[in-house]
Amino acid sequence: MKTVTNVILVILIIAVIAIALFFRQGSRNPLCQPAVYLGRPGNQPRAIIEGLIDDLGGLPQQNARLDAIDDPRIIVPVDDWRIRSAVVTNSNDSFVQTLREESPVMDYAIDLDVAWEDGAAGIVQWTGWRYGLVSCPVAVSKGGGPMGAIRIVELTPAPPQPDETPEATPEG
């Protein structure tokens, strides 16, 4: 019986320490990078960007709110991309207030190295939010949010295309 009591006591001590660390991390609301994402697989940084590029057919080469793009010509197909960094935070300053919310929100900022099909390359930052809770190093994802916004951090334009000249027609 004494062994069972000791095991229960050890489990309780570990649980209290884990809960204390969880609240301490959450109360500081740090920029959580990198985070371990739990919950919906579609809210992993890589899945967010893959879905975004698939839905749009590429990425813009200018700053844009993605849900308000009125000219589809600003979307340029993407050749290659990779995540440079992904930061997630709670939207509220107070972790305790976030815990009290029925639908807590976490903010994302994902920086990407992008190569477009037209030859341009650059660093793009996607910002948006999803339902969820952050207590670094853990982000618990609960659902989707709007498309968000793109900010161009750095852009190397595509090389100029040579002018196409029509072929000479034989005179006859």
Examine residue 171 and state whether it is found in any structural domain, yes or no. Answer: no
For residue range 97-155, what is the model confidence (pLDDT) as tens digits?
676 777 888 899 999 999 999 999 999 999 999 988 887 788 888 878 889 999 999 99
Examine residue 84 and state whether it is found in any structural domain, yes or no. Answer: yes
Question: Which residue carries 């990198």 as its tokens?
Answer: 34
For residue range 35-88, what is the model confidence (pLDDT) as tens digits?
788 887 878 899 999 999 999 999 999 999 998 888 888 999 999 999 999 998
Distance between CA atoms of residues 77 and 53, nearest Å: 8
Question: Which residue carries 């939207």 as its tokens?
Answer: 91
Within 10 Å of residue 76's Cβ, how many Cβ atoms? Answer: 19
Examine residue 172 and state whether it is found in any structural domain, yes or no. Answer: no
- Which domain, by its residues, includes 144? 27-156
Distance between CA atoms of residues 160 and 140, nearest Å: 45
pLDDT at 32: 73
Examine residue 7 and state whether it is found in any structural domain, yes or no. Answer: no
pLDDT at 29: 43
Examine residue 5 and state whether it is found in any structural domain, yes or no. Answer: no
19's enclosing H/E stretch is helix 2-28
Examine residue 50 and state whether it is found in any structural domain, yes or no. Answer: yes
pLDDT at 168: 60
Examine residue 120 and state whether it is found in any structural domain, yes or no. Answer: yes
pTM given for the model: 0.73
Number of independent structural domains in the chain: 1
Examine residue 149 and state whether it is found in any structural domain, yes or no. Answer: yes
